[in-house]
């Protein structure tokens, strides 16, 4: 099977990474979101990523801006994904958003088409139940930033067929990604565990046991982690972390997943992490520096990229 055009639903934090990865690997993306403004902003971010990513990863090749633009169709009309070869869904981590979208896209595309459901915590079996093709729905938990992460958690829902898994694995191999295939329960492996430690780190901060910097430093310097739990939450987006904890709490009916009030308060205050330049930590220079990148001077560009986004720089190690 050929992957000429992939439908990408949702052009937020993760959708932007998905589109970046596809266009860098020569695959066209039909990108759907709810407004032209969001799509325009996403396109700008993708073009920034396309420019910087080959400097940060040896496996990515530089492509021209025009080439990247040619490989992106931006649309608010879901019908435009009708002729795609695969769908990757990355909309808001909220069942009331995902459910009607799946019901709708199910009616738009041919019955044999497979969907990759990208979710932090919502059960793939539950997502598949919103469609008439549960065998064709497979979980694809992509890591952030998508284009720089070589490994993906792939989830087999109750009805997921071998064909759907194989189709996804073929797409992932074109993106030079390795898959770890697991069974389906909310949060899968990664987020069922990681959201507990991110949430507990927020409680430690709320209890004033340590500062955000100290909490993250302990994980980095004592445990050798690349990032601390609060930095990780800022990278994911605090709104997504909060919603994921709510899904885990609801799904397992277990109080250990109750969201820390400080985390919820930051979300209500609009401090969502890196995407708003402020979360548990402040990122005052990140956006400014990304805007200043000079494509004519790759060395300076790399230095600025490293300074602007330590997470991306970490990926080079």
Ligand X SMILES: NC(=O)c1ccc[n+]([C@@H]2O[C@H](COP(=O)([O-])OP(=O)(O)OC[C@H]3O[C@@H](n4cnc5c(N)ncnc54)[C@H](O)[C@@H]3O)[C@@H](O)[C@H]2O)c1
Q: Contact residues for ligand X (CB under 6 A)?
A: 9-15, 32-34, 38, 90-93, 97, 101, 118-120, 141-142, 144, 236-237, 240, 244
**CB-nearer residue toward ligand X: 208 or 268:** 268
What does residue 195 show for φ and ψ, rounded to 5 degrees?
Answer: -70, -25
Residues whose CB is less than 8 angstroms from the CB of residue 12 and which lie 6 or more positions away in sequence, other chains included? 33, 38, 42, 90, 91, 92, 237, 275
Comparison of 118 and 126: residue with beta carbon closer to ligand X:
118
Please identify, using beta-carbon distances, which residue of 78 and 302 lies nearer to ligand X. Answer: 78
DSSP per position, 172-185: HHHTT-EEEEEE-S
H-type alpha helices, the chain: 13-24, 36-56, 65-70, 95-108, 124-128, 162-174, 190-206, 212-217, 223, 229-236, 238-252, 261-268, 286-292, 298-308, 310-314
Decide if 141 is catalytic: yes
Q: Which CB, 76 or 297, lies closer to ligand X?
A: 76
Least Cβ distance, residue 241 to ligand X (angstroms):
8
CA distances from 258 to 126, 144, 187, 219 (A): 21, 24, 14, 22
Residue 70 three-state SS? helix
Nearest-angstrom CA–CA distance, 236 and 145: 9
Q: Measured at CB, which residue is nearest to ligand X?
A: 12
Find out whether the peptide bond into 145 is cis, omega within 30 degrees of 0. Answer: yes
User: At its nearest, how many Å lie between ligand X and the CB of residue 300?
Assistant: 29
Question: At its nearest, how many Å lie between ligand X and the CB of residue 113?
Answer: 17
- Which one of 141, 147, 195, 271 is the catalytic residue? 141
Residue whose CB is less far from ligand X, 85 or 93:
93
Quote the least distance from Cβ 208 to ligand X, whole Å.
27
The least CB distance from residue 257 to ligand X, in Å, is: 15
Catalytic residues: 141
């Amino acid at each position: 099977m050929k992957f000429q055009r992939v439908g990408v639903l949702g052009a937020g934090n993760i959708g932007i990474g998905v589109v970046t990865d596809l266009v860098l690997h020569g695959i066209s993306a039909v990108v759907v979101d709810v407004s032209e403004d969001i799509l325009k902003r996403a396109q700008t971010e993708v073009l920034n990523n396309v420019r910087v990513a080959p400097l940060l990863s040896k496996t990515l090749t530089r492509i021209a801006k025009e080439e990247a633009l040619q490989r992106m169709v931006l649309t608010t009309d879901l019908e435009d994904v009708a002729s795609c070869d695969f769908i990757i869904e990355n909309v808001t981590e909220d069942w009331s958003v995902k459910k009607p979208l799946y019901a709708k896209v199910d009616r738009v595309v041919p019955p044999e088409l497979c969907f990759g459901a990208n979710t932090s915590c919502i059960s793939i079996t539950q997502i598949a139940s919103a469609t008439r093709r549960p065998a064709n729905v497979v979980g694809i938990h992509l890591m952030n930033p998508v284009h720089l992460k070589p490994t993906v958690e792939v989830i087999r829902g109750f009805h997921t067929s071998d064909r759907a898994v194989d189709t996804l694995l073929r797409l992932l191999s074109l993106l030079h990604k390795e898959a770890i295939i697991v069974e389906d329960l909310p949060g899968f492996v990664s987020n069922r565990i990681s959201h507990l430690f991110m949430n507990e780190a927020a409680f430690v901060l709320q209890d004033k046991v340590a500062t955000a910097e100290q909490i993250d430093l302990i994980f980095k310097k004592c445990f050798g982690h690349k990032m601390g739990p609060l930095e990780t939450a800022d990278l994911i987006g605090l709104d997504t972390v909060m919603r994921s904890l709510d899904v885990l709490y609801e799904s397992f009916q277990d109080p250990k997943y109750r969201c820390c009030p400080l985390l919820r308060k930051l979300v209500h205050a609009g401090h969502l992490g890196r995407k708003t330049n402020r979360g548990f930590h402040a990122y005052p220079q990140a956006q400014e520096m990304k805007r200043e990148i000079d494509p004519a001077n790759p060395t300076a560009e790399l230095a600025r990229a490293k300074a602007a986004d330590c997470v991306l720089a970490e990926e080079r190690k």
